[in-house]
Amino acid sequence: MHFAGSVVVPESVSDSLKYYRSNTAATRALLESAVVEGVPHFIFSSTAATYSTPVKVPVVETDPTVPINPYGMSKLMTEAMIRDVAAAHPINYCALRYFNVAGADPQGRSGQSTVGATHLIKIAVEAATGKRDAVSVFGTDFDTPDGTGVRDYIHVHDLAAAHVAALELLVAELTKSHTLNAGYNRGFSVNEVLDAVDRVTNLTIQRRHERRRAGDPAALVADNSAILATLPWRPQRDDLDTIVRDALAWERVLAERAR
């Protein structure tokens, strides 16, 4: 299972070569080693950013992939490499196109610990624990119901379970490969996410309205019928408040450790 990579869309715009190195070139090297060593199955962390700005929401795996930022392109190029390698060698793969991964281990053993995090729910729970004084809302003029960006937030616990199910399938099928959206088929706006954080924390976190970030699409939501049909996988923690609650619990562990 190949998880390593760079994941910040605006950074990919300002430093695309970093993304083509860590997401594309490094995976090429890993694939070469996998072929040499006879690794039979490969699971790749791909992304919803491989699509173009979807003309329709939700987005299906067969929709056009025309990434609007280098992050998405760096991962799409890797998908192509894996496909070509699998066509020529005894290796099958599953590329999971992650939507917005959030939350933390429900048992509090692990979670996102990135210094200088940029992802919305992480930022919001950092604000809730006093690490930040406000949350920026990047763009209030998108073509979405409340003008803020809409995303499909998937709990990391469910995403992890999808990997296990995918590996079991690859082992059973041996030659067949899959590219699957990993999301819940429902979107929340930035404001709705921040409302959930306020609700869960019983706080009113300050919101600062700012301009759109480079490379951000208005809305990205997964059509998840393929993953539901392909894997024996059913979301367990898809409630937004649960995602926020688990992210917050982990943030409190980190705050406690930092004391």
- Exactly one of 43, 86, 104, 120 binds ligand UDP (CB under 6 A); that residue is 120
Question: Is 136 an interacting residue with respect to ligand UDP (CB under 6 A)?
Answer: yes
User: Of the candidates 174, 175, 158, 151, which has an alpha carbon nearest to the alpha carbon of residue 227?
Assistant: 158
- Exactly one of 190, 243, 244, 247 binds ligand UDP (CB under 6 A); that residue is 190
Question: Is 170 an interacting residue with respect to ligand UDP (CB under 6 A)?
Answer: no
Question: Is 205 an interacting residue with respect to ligand UDP (CB under 6 A)?
Answer: no
Hunting for tokens 């039979």 — which residue is that? 40
Question: Is 75 an interacting residue with respect to ligand UDP (CB under 6 A)?
Answer: no
Q: Which is nearer to ligand UDP, 6 or 92 (CB)?
A: 6
- Strands across the sheet with 41-47, in order? 41-47, 92-98, 178-182
- Exactly one of 75, 151, 178, 245 binds ligand UDP (CB under 6 A); that residue is 151
- Exactly one of 75, 119, 155, 245 binds ligand UDP (CB under 6 A); that residue is 119
With beta carbons less than 8 A apart as the criterion, state whether 138 and 212 touch: yes
Tell the smallest beta-carbon distance from residue 161 to ligand UDP (Å): 21
- Exactly one of 58, 103, 149, 183 binds ligand UDP (CB under 6 A); that residue is 149
Tell the smallest beta-carbon distance from residue 223 to ligand UDP (Å): 17
51 noted as active-site residue: no
Residue numbers 89-118 binding ligand UDP by CB under 6 A: 100, 118
Structural tokens at position 8: 């910040």
Tell the smallest beta-carbon distance from residue 165 to ligand UDP (Å): 23
CA distances to 53, 59, 149 from 220, rounded to whole Å, are 8, 7, 9
Q: Which of 19, 51, 71, 93 is catalytic?
A: 71
Q: How many residues bind ligand UDP (CB under 6 A)?
A: 16
Question: Is 230 an interacting residue with respect to ligand UDP (CB under 6 A)?
Answer: no
Question: Is 206 an interacting residue with respect to ligand UDP (CB under 6 A)?
Answer: no
Across 129-143, b (16+ Cβ under 10 Å) vs e yields eeeeeebbbbbbebe
- Exactly one of 123, 125, 128, 247 binds ligand UDP (CB under 6 A); that residue is 123
- Exactly one of 18, 213, 237, 252 binds ligand UDP (CB under 6 A); that residue is 213
What's the start-to-end Cα distance of the chain, in Å? Answer: 34
Residues with a known catalytic role:
71
Interacting residues toward ligand UDP by CB under 6 A = 9, 100, 118-120, 123, 135-139, 149, 151, 190, 213, 216
